[in-house]
Structure 1
Amino acid sequence: MKTILKLFTLLFGVVSFAQTTVKGKVTDNTGLPLPGANIVVVGTSSGTVSDFDGDYTLTVDLDPPFSIRISYTGFEAQTIEITSNNQTVDVTLEEGNTLDEVVISASRTPERIFESPVTVERFGLKEIKNTASVDFYDGLENLKGVDINTNSLTFKSINTRGFATFANTRFMQLVDGMDNSAPALNFPLGNLLGMTETDVLSVELLPGAASALYGANAFNGILFMRSKNPFDHTGISGYIKRGITSQEAAGDNPYTDLGIRMAYKFSEKFAAKVNFGYLKGTDWFAVNDADKLNRGLTREDPDYDGINVYGDEVSTDINDVAQTLEGLGLAPPGSSALVPSQNVSRTGYDERDLTNYNAESIKADWGLYFRPWEDDFEIQYVGKVGSGNTIYQGANRYNIKNFFLQQHKLEIRNDNFFVRGYVTEDKAGDSYDMVFTGININRAWKDDQTWFGEYVAAYIGATLGGATDDQAHTAARTQADTGRYVPGTPEFQNAFERITNDPDLNTGSRFQDNSKIYHADANYNFGDMIDFAEIQVGGSYRRYRLNSFGTIYTDNDGPINYSEVGVYTQLQRSLELSENVELKLTGSVRYDKSELFDGFFSPRLSAGFTINEDHNIRASFQTGFRNPTTQDLYIGLDVGRAILVGGAPDNPARDVRNYDLSPNGTAITGQSNIDFDGTGAYNNSFFANSVSSFGESMNPADLEIANSNLAQPEQVSSFELGYRGKLDGVIIDASAYYNKYQDFLANETVIAPFYGDVQLTETLPGGTPLAVAAIANGDFQAYQTYTNSDEEVNSYGAAIQVSTKVLGDFDLSANYTYAKLDFDVNQNPDFRTNFNTPEHKVKASFGNTELFKNFGFNVSWRWSDNYFWEASFGDGEVPAYHVLDAQVNFRVPSLKSTFKAGATNLLQDEYFTAFGTGLIGSQYYVSWTINNL
């Protein structure tokens, strides 16, 4: 290593002329040490941090005099002049307030959160240490305006300002500038493959549109996570958490979470770090057996389709089966008259039979950092890998098993610019669709035709024997299910293993993927070169390579490639209007172009008035746009009830499938089967709701033409007002917004007939339209299309937070969030906005970091109003809920350790945040954190 450093020194001609050492201790105004305080030489990036006891040693290649700046989150920074070598500088920092904290995300430049031109939330080291949640990522749920939808124990989806599903493609998550979305899914899997807690420096969150600075996917909010630089944060730190998860359905199960961080500064030129994290637990069991289609059916009903029961999605009209059997001579003449026209579903398997609910995450990252001139110019290489098991709910429920994600980044930066490039690659591992697992285990045992034939034959026999309708259905199912594979038997397990390793959804349930994203972006800040304003310019380039082998996308014939590019600029200037009033103006604009669509400009304008250093009023207008995601464009996925077909211009024709026609369809077309592609969904289809109406009335006038438009970029115009201020020790942060969407991207459910036109101009000799005959004969395919709404979709809301000190030194804060969708759902029953956000939310926290020496606690409570959840898996009401979390912690300075005991959902009121997921129980844990600065 020394030889390498010598070579680098020779290469860049760096010579050290002097060396000065400064030592000291950083404490608060009560005399307690402040570990992790930053000590930086003013005007450079050279610095260090205080250790667990608040002590620090800073050695730099500079001759005095020079100045150092000592800062700590939540305290007022101090700048001190160094006049001699070996000078001792002990500093006592006075507690400040959250408005003095510095954020970077709002304007891509450091500024006090008090002066930020837009709403921004920050979750720093202090908040991470004091959160009552089980980890820092869960702790974000206590921020105002933030929703966290819990998919499973290890997969949680963050969202702001509505329009969220677990496939939350409107919200962006960046880790040290890298988008950690999985390329195949187009969204991050929570923190499953994200950051290790001991390496988190800060978390910032921008709600709302931010396309002007961050591009096409920065549409509804961005989460920024920054890690610790090994030049500033050295040493070994780690944590271990042990506890249990407790749920009525799953019982009590062990939970383990551990992480370690190792960082070393070899010299002022070279530093490196390594992180490792491991989590293992048992996921929340999903055992809801209510009727998925909200018809009020129970397991005893013939056409039962349970929410967390899979295989019962396969359903057919048994009278049609009876007529077929009678026509083939396999049933007595006239027996079909004994069989009602009624749908019957196959018997399904509970979700708990199709997964072991193993929740696991293994992740590691490493970084090499090089400062050739020992200043702020830095070259970074960062690598990240992660693998894990979780449950994901999209159109179906999926067991994400041994999923693998890796990222590699090379970045060159200093205080004024950065240039970075990275690649993200995912592999689906052994992941599978639990719905198709249930369907195909049934079919592996007995094909649908045989099962329904036996059912009808038994029904007829029971009816002729004098049984009632209910008795006949019971007898029929018992007969048809005779010999069915039973969970836990070798026959079941063999079928399960075979099917979950088969990627053909006709016979299996595994999905494959090895997709990649290549991304590069750059930014330069001319603030040091131009006096009248701070001007930034930047741009980005992204290329997608989709490779699911035909299991997710329409890429049967090879990977799908396409790219996007964008450029932007921002101007920011502060004007002193009077002695006590300052005006800060910010203007930015970005141009983005996808090779599939026309380009688009995204401007942002904001103004902030600072009055008497205690009050800031801000107003902004910003636009955003969102290119359709990879799934919006190129998905081609059969989910049982419908086929998801993306809206890229060339995609529908790529989704070709073969269908057997009904006997009537064969008589009409002269074909027994047909090759049919997805173009019918977009140019020859009816709305699904209108087909249901036609099924009841048999009146062709009830059929409504759908013919979804191909997908186009979505746009939003956002207006926001906000206030931040201090009033007699009370800090207030409030905002209100109104969003107006154009070409809103969502889904429509449509029905495409295999023959005939939806204009009903093609008719049979008797005058019946061919398309009507196709619907009546069951010769059609249901599709879910990806399209844009012609209707207005608007939303508005507000949020306010109040925080203060009470009873001397206790921290108290509370916030309220209001969110409302402005869209006529009744006039657009087939269009799904997926707003999925409660109208009212209230959150509060109370605690003391130093109740007595080295002992602190925190309690947080949140309440959510009821709301309606709609997504491709299913729709349903989410009842109101409230949750209480709490923790106590004790510091042992001699061990450089903090011990914590905590509980989430302390009241044990199980709840859920989305239709179809398992109920969220309680977690109880103890943790030991060592030397986490």
Structure 2
Amino acid sequence: MKSKSYLILVLLSLKSFAQSQKENSKTSQDSIKKENSKTSQDSIKKEMLKEVVITASRISETFLRSPISIEQLKSADVKNMGSPSCFDALENLKGVQIITPSLGFKVINTRGFANTTNVRFAQLVDGIDNQAPHLGTPIANALGANDLDIDKIEIIPGAASALYGMNAINGLANIQTKNPFEYQGLSIQQLTGVNHVGNIDRFSPQLYTQANFRYAKALNSKIAFKINGSTTGGTDWVADNRTDLAPNSNASTNLYGTDNPAFDEVNGYGNESANRKTLTLNGKKYVVSRTGYRETDIADYNIQNYKGDVGLYFRPKKGHQLAVTYKGALINTVYQRSNRFRLEDYTLNQYAIDYQSDIFQIRTYLTQENTGKSYNMRSLAENMDRAFKSDDQWFSDYTTAYKNAINGGSNVANAHKTARELSDLGRFQPGTDAYNQKKDELVNINNWDYGAALRVKSSLFHSEGVLNWDKLFSSFFKKIDAQLLSGFDYRTYIIVPDGNYFINPVNSSKNLTYGKTGGFTQLSKDLFDKKLRLSATMRLDKADYFDLKFTPRITAVYSPKEEINFRASYQSGYRFPSIFEGFSNVNSGGVKRVGGLRIMSDGIFENSYTKASIDKFQAQVNSDINTLGLTQAQAIDKNKAIIQKNPYTYLQPEFVRSFEFGFRGVALNKSLFIDTDFYYNSYENFIAQVEASIPNTTDAALIPTSLYSKASQSRYRLWTNSKSKIYNYGGSLGLKYKYNNVFSFLGNLTYTKLDRTDDKDGLEDGFNTPKFIVNGTVITENLWRNLGASVTYRYQNKYDYVSFLVSGEVPAYWSMDAQVNYNFKKPGVTARLGGTNFLNKTYYSMLGGPSIGGLYYLSLTWNVGKI
């Protein structure tokens, strides 16, 4: 009875609160209705000619006159799209590519070179970087704003380093939230959906939920606050690609497909290169791998993410605002980089202070990361096998069983299968108590040679300031019709050494630090009666371990009429190595991943040989033994020239030059909006990885023999720079047409092409981007009374995908999203019924990741106040 009385009391309180909020906001709602009425009379003109953006130049400017490409997504528009969230809806924007390693982890990319750890694309919330420090990239929108607090999202597809510094050489997204002074009241949203429909994988249909709330209140004209919270739960998409990554390992003995004893499924772990051995069986050389485990057998696909934030806002006088905010996130999902990880009790916390006025802005924030109980699924699989039986013992048992099978009259293929079955007897089986007990042990061992734990604690401290000289000396700059903006930033990363993932090579008792300081000045000038705007930006950056770097940007916008705007720009940018690229120190299955800074990898580059040449050498030796009847010593001597010294060296910052031309305008009596662009980029010192080995001998005559056996070499994966100069180009076209104030037609086409690679050393990261991406959306906001609907079509062609987990071709795919929405005006409730990929045609957005099916949902949003 007590709980029921308490519930009734809460409901009555909410009702009373809602009525008071409606009465307080009636006047503002009436004015909003009037404004909406005006907007509907000339929507394209209102939206495009007067819309203000800030991200492109860090100053307020009209969208049409932005000097570079910029895309904008307003939260008010998302409710008319089939996407369940604002972050998902970004995939509809021109020039944007989203890859999906997990339902709880999506990655934004623009202009090529996509990967699951996209350190070339920055992601901000109200100008604050929301990356996980040790990763150097955000975990999707895990620390970002929830849908109820997002005002709009601005995306720069292209270099933005001149204004934003580190890691913005391919693009930047800035999520702008709602200010509690302007947007007050309570808003609650519940989205309930279902995925895994139609037997697309091992799951029956699974429930998906997302709950958001926002409450904001201005206590008076000087003090306001807001509170946001969000929770997401569901069952992840399944990664179960069974393509063999080593199909030709035993080609010289005609063993292919399931007969191949080195069979290595894309989403099978523990049977990779590090888990293989060349065995001599009855005079033949066979490459044999441990059995490993499929991801579907060992992965935890449960998603349970939480995030929240609170902010206090003070306006001591007109035009000034101080914001003190806290954001926190608890993450339980699948994450992907070189391997697939389970993030478990992974936390991010961020504390920020921001003071801004018309003249200046100062911002400081601290982000803290703790990987909690997370673990590496590949390391779990291979060490689960080794916990059952050591590699030496398993391969010895395999050899004995194979020979017995052959002596018993079995053919070669069946003898290999029999040998595996007998060698695996007693192996830990997923789902058993013994397996679960061993898993609990391994995921808490922080050494990937024996366990699987990911245990990292890190922090990012950042301070920056911006000064508007033209506001400080307004009369002078108004007289010369110019704007002058200057800024500085300081950032340092702090990593707590864990002994596995990171160490401090200088002092193991101290934290590892890595810092950067930079500054810029931007001058803008209007000419010819404001028809031509020129701007120039100069930036200097100094990072630890590197010399001073200079980054210029020059832009021009010509507007013969308000509705017609041509733009051109030259931009450049540096990307300094991330923490992982510079300082990693990971033991993983006999291969050590080492940061590319000299302080971490001193001596390795000079004394190592490339894995690509060693693999080719080993394969040719095996082939000559099997097909020509040579002895091992003869075959090694015959093929030793194949082995190549490592030509790469220590890390330098990556550099890009970008040229861009574009047009924005309105036509057809201002009912059609047009936005198009073309760009050309060149990259130098492209940061990538190389695998290499150091032989366990200094005797030149014995080096080939040492490199033939994995047991007599030390293997490394090193971060370095490609020797190639890399070029890519592309363009995009976006159209928006509104017909009779009822229907809106949105469409865009993006073309992205890797032009060429000088020197062709093959070391650069995969371009990993389709040539063509097409989006088309039809929206009706008021089809009948308060009923709206939309349909979105999306297509991308096939493309090559290259990563250390898997390389191959991602098939072309198309999908459709759809939704209907209804606005119940009196209770302030908006209902949306929709689906993404609603035809349930499964597809991969990248290799190594999951197969994506349909997600069907019902969303209810209740707004009280000025939300």
Query: What is the TM-score of this pair, normalised by structure 1?
Result: 0.83
- 2:307 aligned partner, one-letter code: K
8 Å Cα contact 2:725-2:758 kept in structure 1:
no
- 1:372 aligned partner, one-letter code: P
Is 1:193–2:138 an aligned residue pair? no
Matched residue of 1:130: which SS?
Answer: coil
Quick one: structure 1 residues 419 and 348, their matched pair in 2 at CA, closer, same or farther if it must change by over 3 Å?
A: same
The Cα shift of 1:121 comes to 0.4
8 Å Cα contact 2:49-2:562 kept in structure 1:
no
8 Å Cα contact 1:832-1:870 kept in structure 2:
no
Report Cα offsets for 1:63-86 as digits up to 9, x if no partner.
xxxxxx997799499xxxxxxxxx
Quick one: structure 1 residues 145 and 74, their matched pair in 2 at CA, closer, same or farther if it must change by over 3 Å?
A: farther
Report Cα offsets for 1:249-274 as digits up to 9, x if no partner.
13310000010001111111110111
8 Å Cα contact 2:75-2:147 kept in structure 1:
no
Is 1:636–2:585 an aligned residue pair? yes
Quick one: structure 1 residues 316 and 573, their matched pair in 2 at CA, closer, same or farther if it must change by over 3 Å?
A: closer
Matched residue of 2:284: which SS?
Answer: coil
C-alpha distance in 2 between matches for 1:527 and 1:685: 56
- 2:141 aligned partner, one-letter code: N
C-alpha distance in 2 between matches for 1:306 and 1:49: 62
- 1:915 aligned partner, one-letter code: L
Quick one: structure 1 residues 734 and 710, their matched pair in 2 at CA, closer, same or farther if it must change by over 3 Å?
A: same
User: What is aligned with 1:12?
Assistant: none
Report Cα offsets for 1:456-488 as digits up to 9, x if no partner.
111111222222112221221121111111111
Of the structure 1 ranges 311-320 and 298-307, higher mean CA displacement relative to structure 2 is found in: 311-320
Is 1:266–2:219 an aligned residue pair? yes
The Cα shift of 1:128 comes to 2.2
User: What is aligned with 1:722?
Assistant: 662
Matching of residues 90-129 of structure 1 within 5 Å: 96-129=46-79
Structure 1 residues without counterparts, runs of 5 or longer = 1-35, 37-47, 58-68, 78-91, 321-335, 654-678, 757-761, 764-768
Is 1:754–2:696 an aligned residue pair? yes
The Cα shift of 1:644 comes to 1.9
8 Å Cα contact 1:458-1:475 kept in structure 2:
yes
Quick one: structure 1 residues 345 and 825, their matched pair in 2 at CA, closer, same or farther if it must change by over 3 Å?
A: farther
Aligned match for 1:359, one of 300, 303, 320:
303
C-alpha distance in 1 between matches for 2:581 and 2:208: 37
User: What is aligned with 1:55?
Assistant: 30
User: What is aligned with 1:658?
Assistant: none
User: What is aligned with 1:510?
Assistant: 453
Of the structure 1 ranges 743-752 and 857-866, higher mean CA displacement relative to structure 2 is found in: 743-752
Matched residue of 2:598: which SS?
Answer: coil
C-alpha distance in 1 between matches for 2:705 and 2:310: 63
Higher relative contact order (CA 8 A, sep 6+): 2
Is 1:246–2:179 an aligned residue pair? no
User: What is aligned with 2:232?
Assistant: 279
Aligned match for 2:264, one of 305, 316, 319:
305
Matching of residues 69-468 of structure 1 within 5 Å: 75=39, 96-246=46-196, 248-249=200-201, 250-293=203-246, 295=248, 297-313=256-272, 315-317=275-277, 319=279, 338=282, 340-373=284-317, 375-468=318-411
- 2:512 aligned partner, one-letter code: I
The Cα shift of 1:709 comes to 1.2
8 Å Cα contact 1:392-1:400 kept in structure 2:
yes
User: What is aligned with 2:708?
Assistant: 776
8 Å Cα contact 1:73-1:126 kept in structure 2:
no
Matched residue of 2:804: which SS?
Answer: coil
Quick one: structure 1 residues 470 and 827, their matched pair in 2 at CA, closer, same or farther if it must change by over 3 Å?
A: same
8 Å Cα contact 1:53-1:893 kept in structure 2:
no
Quick one: structure 1 residues 51 and 627, their matched pair in 2 at CA, closer, same or farther if it must change by over 3 Å?
A: farther
C-alpha distance in 1 between matches for 2:854 and 2:551: 44
The Cα shift of 1:276 comes to 0.4
C-alpha distance in 1 between matches for 2:108 and 2:26: 33
C-alpha distance in 2 between matches for 1:813 and 1:211: 30
Of the structure 1 ranges 799-808 and 418-427, higher mean CA displacement relative to structure 2 is found in: 799-808
Matched residue of 2:826: which SS?
Answer: helix
Of the structure 1 ranges 253-262 and 447-456, higher mean CA displacement relative to structure 2 is found in: 447-456
C-alpha distance in 1 between matches for 2:596 and 2:654: 13
The Cα shift of 1:50 comes to 6.6
Of the structure 1 ranges 815-824 and 778-787, higher mean CA displacement relative to structure 2 is found in: 778-787
C-alpha distance in 1 between matches for 2:411 and 2:81: 61
8 Å Cα contact 2:664-2:674 kept in structure 1:
yes
The Cα shift of 1:287 comes to 1.3
User: What is aligned with 2:425?
Assistant: 482
Quick one: structure 1 residues 416 and 72, their matched pair in 2 at CA, closer, same or farther if it must change by over 3 Å?
A: farther
Is 1:710–2:653 an aligned residue pair? no
8 Å Cα contact 1:216-1:626 kept in structure 2:
yes
The Cα shift of 1:723 comes to 0.4
Report Cα offsets for 1:145-179 as digits up to 9, x if no partner.
00000010010000000112111000000011211
Matched residue of 2:426: which SS?
Answer: coil
- 1:198 aligned partner, one-letter code: L
Matched residue of 2:394: which SS?
Answer: helix
C-alpha distance in 1 between matches for 2:422 and 2:696: 34
Is 1:501–2:440 an aligned residue pair? no
8 Å Cα contact 1:193-1:388 kept in structure 2:
no
User: What is aligned with 2:609?
Assistant: 686
- 1:305 aligned partner, one-letter code: D
The Cα shift of 1:819 comes to 0.5
The Cα shift of 1:790 comes to 2.2
Quick one: structure 1 residues 816 and 74, their matched pair in 2 at CA, closer, same or farther if it must change by over 3 Å?
A: farther
The Cα shift of 1:217 comes to 1.8
User: What is aligned with 1:791?
Assistant: 724
8 Å Cα contact 1:318-1:339 kept in structure 2:
no
C-alpha distance in 2 between matches for 1:394 and 1:443: 24
C-alpha distance in 2 between matches for 1:641 and 1:879: 33
Query: What is the TM-score of this pair, normalised by structure 2?
Result: 0.89
Of the structure 1 ranges 48-57 and 536-545, higher mean CA displacement relative to structure 2 is found in: 48-57
8 Å Cα contact 1:400-1:432 kept in structure 2:
yes
C-alpha distance in 1 between matches for 2:167 and 2:859: 37
The Cα shift of 1:786 comes to 1.3
8 Å Cα contact 2:681-2:727 kept in structure 1:
yes
Identity rate, percent: 34
Quick one: structure 1 residues 852 and 548, their matched pair in 2 at CA, closer, same or farther if it must change by over 3 Å?
A: farther
8 Å Cα contact 1:811-1:847 kept in structure 2:
yes
Is 1:576–2:528 an aligned residue pair? yes
Quick one: structure 1 residues 52 and 919, their matched pair in 2 at CA, closer, same or farther if it must change by over 3 Å?
A: farther
8 Å Cα contact 1:52-1:893 kept in structure 2:
no
User: What is aligned with 2:802?
Assistant: 870
Quick one: structure 1 residues 99 and 163, their matched pair in 2 at CA, closer, same or farther if it must change by over 3 Å?
A: farther
Is 1:595–2:544 an aligned residue pair? yes
C-alpha distance in 1 between matches for 2:277 and 2:552: 55
Quick one: structure 1 residues 437 and 713, their matched pair in 2 at CA, closer, same or farther if it must change by over 3 Å?
A: same
8 Å Cα contact 2:723-2:761 kept in structure 1:
no
8 Å Cα contact 1:199-1:228 kept in structure 2:
yes
C-alpha distance in 2 between matches for 1:274 and 1:563: 32
8 Å Cα contact 2:247-2:260 kept in structure 1:
no
Quick one: structure 1 residues 366 and 71, their matched pair in 2 at CA, closer, same or farther if it must change by over 3 Å?
A: farther
Quick one: structure 1 residues 902 and 736, their matched pair in 2 at CA, closer, same or farther if it must change by over 3 Å?
A: same
Structure 2 residues without counterparts, runs of 5 or longer = 1-20, 250-255, 622-635
C-alpha distance in 1 between matches for 2:791 and 2:45: 21
Is 1:623–2:585 an aligned residue pair? no
8 Å Cα contact 1:202-1:226 kept in structure 2:
yes
